[in-house]
Every structure is written in structure tokens, then in C-alpha cells.
Amino acid sequence: MYINFWYPAGDVDDFTDEPIKRRMLGLDFVLFRDAQGIARVLSNTCTHRGGSLSDGKVKDDCIQCPYHGWEFDGDGQCRKIPTLGPNGKVPARARVDAYPTIERYGLVFAFLGDLPASERPPIMEIEEYGEDGPAEGWAATLQCFEWPFDYKRSIENGIDIAHNEYVHPTHGFQGTRDDYERSTPKYDLEEWGVAIRGGEGRLVPPLADKKMREASGRHEPGIMSGGGTGSFGVSSLWTHIHPTPVMFIHQYLFEAPVDDSNTRLYLLNLRNFLTDPSDDERMMGRNEVVATQDRDVLAGVHPVQTPPTNNHEFFVGPDEPIAKYREYLKDWEARGWRIDVDKVDRDRKRVAYAIPSPARREKKGWILQSVPLLAGSVEAKLSKTVAK
Ligand code: FES
Ligand SMILES: [Fe+2]
């Protein structure tokens, strides 16, 4: 798992004046909405004696620890230590890590890392989504699933052009066609991920849902019309499905690793047909069926984690984009962003780690230890120095 990306911490409705605990990257966070209406994400461990902040209360702009009542504001600064009395001066070091948040696409993204704003990888852009909702002519649905697999295996599955034929009976022919063949797709290596666009059409069955099939006007197997798929950052994915030249389903997956073996996925689906809200259920039903087919195959993959090298999996042509995704991961590891999960697990019972927040670059004297990271490479460190 990697620091320094924007992760979906929850949907906008998860953030209220009732705090909730959420595990991401193997650590716990408290989510709440302060009196100003700002969505807040803080490390869940109180720096006094380890109380669980999410078991406390939201008081105006602060979260109050349930143990001795210390109050931390949305920036993580402690504002009140009750035992000091009404005139007590709260020491500056009494703070917890707080993470930048952005509300977009009906989700709240938290930047889990310490990079300053100008150096942060972006959140995946969605052209069909405006400021407050889907753009003209589009309808959107948002679904959340929490499933027992490594998010990396899921991203790899998304850019795996050969799995549809076998995993999804509604997208392929289950090996019943003698002329089935897939070669290495054309792909681009973009700044934040692999993109497979357009390329050869694929023979697919008619759409499974009757109303959608009628909307498509295609009742026989046919060729998919363009579209594409790609990874973005460590844990986002886009897939554009074009059953006909004018009928588009654009899917965006934002994944948050709960830990190294469990993942929370947000599926934002945009469609430019059957856009009446009464068709949302139909669309979400189909999405869930298909996503569950992916889950079932991914939950059985061994080992759970993507392996450290590709030497013990046998890659063929259509797997090439997956090899490229793994190269991006190596690059982010070289920048020093990869968490030393084994050490965190070994220490779990006696050390409360925190993901370093941006304020750690400016202020000294943090109570919680920063989560251990695997050493970056010399080259990456040099290029960072040169870039400055
Ligand atoms: S542990 Fe949080 S106030 Fe004491
Ligand atoms: Fe799939």
C-alpha cells in the first residue's frame, strides 16, 4: 500500500456530526463533518493515551476524545485539555495528523500522505461529470462494495482485456467460439497510468438486460464500438463501454485499500441512455452482477497480493498492460511512498502509527510515529532533488 495518493474515504453522506471509524491503508481514521460543513479526516488515535476518537463526539469544529475529553479541531490541533482548567494553555505538540479532503463525484477524497499541494498526484478526472453532478445528457449512479481482495489485483483485472470472455457470461462466450483470439492491445503510458483506447472491436453478446438491449437496438452478437480502459494512480480505474456507436457506459472505480487483503470500492457509473432516475436501479443491478463476477474470481486468486516480481506468473500478450501497471507501482515505491506493511503488522499490538500528513513537513514534534516506508531508490531521490 502506498501513501501520497487521494483515496475515497467515504461518500458525502458518511460525513456527519456523528463520527465514524474507517480503516484505510491498514490504519484507522475518524471521519466527521465539522460545524462549518467541512468533511474532516483525522488519524483516529488520540495523542494523549490512545483513545479512539471515532468513539467520541463532534463538538462544533472539534472531535472530542471519549477518554478524557481532549478536543482536536479539523486541522488536528488540540484546542482543549480539560484537566488544564479554563485558562490552561494547550501545548502545540498536542495534535493529531489531519488530511486534506476534497468532495467530488459524491465522494470525499482524503489525501493520505505528506506531499505539499503542488506535488500531489491528481484525482482521476471525469469529463462527463460537471461541478455538481453528471453533465448534460448523462445519468450517474454510485455504488460501494467492500470485498476480500488486494486492490492491485482488482485494478489489474480492470485493464485485463482477456478476462471478459470467461469471467462475464454476458460480455463473452465462455470459450465456445473457435475463432476467439486476443493479442497485445495498443496502449499508452500516461503520467499516472496505462490507457488502452479504441483498438480492435470485440465480439460481444447482446446486452443482458431487456430494456437496455432494446435501447441498444442490437439483438445479435456484435462488435463493441471503441471505448477503452485504463488505470489511474495506484487504485483508480476507468472503463468506457460502447455497446453501439452512440450508447455509452462510462465506469470509474475509486478503490481504497482497507488493508493489504481487503478493499472498499466505489463504482461511479455514467450512462448516456435510459437516463431517467427510474432506470438507476436497473443499471445498479447489472453493475452489481458483473462486479460480483469479478469479485468471485479475484477472491480466489493466489497469492492474495500481486507478487514482488512477474517471474512466477506466466505473462502472455494481453497481460502486457498489467506488467506496465506494476512498473508504475515500482516507480512510486522508488519515490519512497510504499508502506512497510510487514513491519506495521509486526508492531500492530504495541505501536500506533499514523500516515504522515502534510503538516509534518512544516511542524516538528509529532507524538505518533510516522508509518514505516520502504526505502526509496537513490535514483528517485536524486531526481526529486534535481526537480526542486
Ligand atoms: S486518550 Fe484521548 S483524551 Fe485521553
Ligand atoms: Fe470484469
What pLDDT digit, counting tens, does each position of 118-166 carry? 999 999 999 999 888 999 999 999 999 999 999 999 999 999 999 998 9
Query: Residue 196's closest CA among 182, 178, 181, 176?
Result: 182
C-alpha cell at 156: 489489474
Q: What is the pLDDT of residues 74-129, one digit of tens each?
A: 999 999 999 999 999 999 999 999 999 999 999 999 999 999 999 999 999 999 99
Question: Per the structure block, which three cell numbers stand in for 350?
Answer: 504495541
3-state secondary structure of 73: strand
46 lines ligand 1 (CB under 6 A): yes
H helix count then E strand count, the chain: 7, 22
> Do 30 and 14 meet the contact criterion of CB atoms below 8 Å apart?
no
Enter the C-alpha cell of residue 118.
Answer: 503542488
- The three cell numbers of residue 45 are 488515535
SS3 20: strand
Distance of CA 159 from the midpoint of ligand 2 (Å): 9
338 vs 335: CA distance, rounded Å: 8
What are the grid coordinates assigned to 66, written together?
471519549
Task: Report whether residue 360 contacts ligand 1, using a CB cutoff of 6 Å.
Answer: no
Eight-state DSSP code of residue 184: P
The phi, psi pair for 256, rounded to 5°, reads -120, 120
CB 80 within 8 A of CB 70: yes
pLDDT digits (tens, 9 = 90+) for 280-335: 999 999 999 999 999 999 999 999 999 999 999 999 999 999 999 999 999 999 99
C-alpha cell at 362: 512544516
For a pLDDT cut of 70, what percent of the chain falls above it? Answer: 97
Residues 6+ apart with CB under 8 A from 180: 165, 173
Residue 70 CA, closest ligand 1 atom number: 3
Grid-cell match 480539560, residue found: 82
Which of 67, 80, 81 is the best mutation target for the ligand 1 pocket, counting ligand atoms within 8 Å of the beta carbon and taking the most? Answer: 67
Q: 127: number of CA atoms within 13 Å, CB side?
A: 6
Query: Among 286, 352, 326, which Cα is nearest to 156's?
Result: 326
